[in-house]
Structures are given as structure tokens and as C-alpha cells.
Amino acid sequence: MFAKEVVQGDPSNPSNIFHWDLISLNMPGSPSYDPSKPWVAKLRISDSLIACDLIIYVDDERTIGNSFQE
């Protein structure tokens, strides 16, 4: 977990690929619920896209990004 934090760097730095500004909640039952979007997501205000992230499970790693380069 420490290594992951070091690799991802400071999430408040806009030049960081893992930069995010806010958490979006898209919960079923809410008036603004959109089933095409994830329930919880980190968003960037600058381009209104989902921020890059790295999720580590016990034996698997998943990356999140808006393009192949990200």
C-alpha cells in the first residue's frame, strides 16, 4: 500500500496523471441516477472525465483511465 501511494504521487497536483478533484456518487434510487455511469467515481473538474486510478486486489491489479495512454 505504501508503494502504491508513492507511485501515484500527490492527487492534488494537476500535472499528475492520478489527479482528481471530487468524488461522484451515482446511487440507485436517487433522482439523478444514471445506470450507464459507475456508482462511485473520482472525477477531474478540468475535463469532467473519470480520473485515472490503480486498484489492487489480493492477486489482481486493475487500472482505470479514459484512454489507452492514460
pLDDT in tens, 5-61: 888 888 888 888 889 999 999 999 999 999 999 999 999 988 888 888 888 888 888
How far is 8 from 43, CA to CA, in rounded Å?
16
Give 7: exposed, middle or buried? Use CB within 10 Å, 0-12, 13-18, 19+: exposed
Residues 6+ apart with CB under 8 A from 69: none
Q: Do residues 11 and 18 touch, judged by C-beta distance below 8 A?
A: yes
Under the phi-then-psi rule, with left for phi > 0, alpha for psi from -120 to 50, and beta for the rest, what region is 48? left
pLDDT band at 3 (very low <50, low <70, confident <90, very high): confident
How far is 15 from 37, CA to CA, in rounded Å?
25
